[in-house]
Amino acid sequence: MDLTEAQRRGLNTALSEATCLGLDIDEAGATAAVTLEVLALPVDGATAAGRTVVLHLSGVGRIAASLRSQEWDEAKPTVYPLALGDLHDAIESFGGTHLHGWEFIDLPDSSWKQWFHLLSLDTTLSDEPASHVLELSQEEGVDPRELDLRVWFNDLDIADADGQPIKLEDFIECGVKWWAAHDSGDPRTRNADIAPPL
């Protein structure tokens, strides 16, 4: 799967402030399915609302994650070991927090370098070279836990909660439209969990 720079930027915008709901991994099939609630404004709709989507990643070569906590008076974080089968529950344990950061697809390695030495798991699913990376981060406001997840993959398909395919261009357009409306002060995008435009 080839992504243009415009598509990469569009995906990053469409995934911004998404809520991560779960992760299902098929180790034998080298696939992963990430369930998210994204901010979307339908192109022909009048109401902005959360939209549940599933990112189907195929050709997954590697999955790495870091689940850790660090109190203010601790010199080093505590890293909690995980197995692949634990990742879904680890994500759910954050209670549906918004993703941290603004880049998720094919982001610079500078992000990876911040936590690659704090791994809870690092599993190779396939020896096939992966051409893309998805990185998701979750944090808790009052709890000093963090979860970073990185998936190396080759292909991406998007579906709605009913399993109906969503075209990449449509997914990007609905997300970009939501953020453009938000930045212009559109009342349809008011959300108690999202900071208002500056």
- Compute the average pLDDT of residues 11-21: 96
- In angstroms, the CA 38 to CA 54 distance is 10
pLDDT of the residue at 103: 95
Residue that wins the pLDDT comparison between 98 and 123: 123
- Compute the average pLDDT of residues 158-183: 94
pLDDT of the residue at 171: 95
pLDDT of the residue at 44: 67
Residue 12 placed within a domain: yes
Residue 178 placed within a domain: yes
Residue 196 placed within a domain: no
Reply yes or no on whether the pLDDT at 142 is more than 90: no
Residue 182 placed within a domain: yes
- Compute the average pLDDT of residues 110-128: 95
Q: Residue 43 is encoded by which pair of tokens?
A: 């192109």
pLDDT of the residue at 50: 66
Tens of pLDDT, residues 69-111: 988 777 888 999 999 999 999 999 988 888 988 999 999 989 9
Asked if 35 and 54 touch (Cβ cutoff 8 Å), the reply is yes
Confidence of residue 144 (pLDDT cuts 50, 70, 90): confident
Domains contained in the chain, number: 1
**What range defines the domain where residue 68 resides?**
5-189
pLDDT of the residue at 189: 84
- Compute the average pLDDT of residues 142-156: 92
Of 126, 172, 120, which Cα lies nearest the Cα of 152? 126
Tens of pLDDT, residues 28-76: 999 999 999 999 988 766 555 568 999 999 999 999 999 999 887 778 8
Long-range contacts of 145-148 (CB under 8 A, 24+ apart): 145/67, 145/68, 145/69, 145/94, 146/66, 146/67, 146/68, 146/69, 146/70, 146/77, 147/65, 147/66, 147/67, 147/90, 147/91, 147/94, 148/65, 148/66, 148/115
Residue 194 placed within a domain: no
Residue 91 placed within a domain: yes
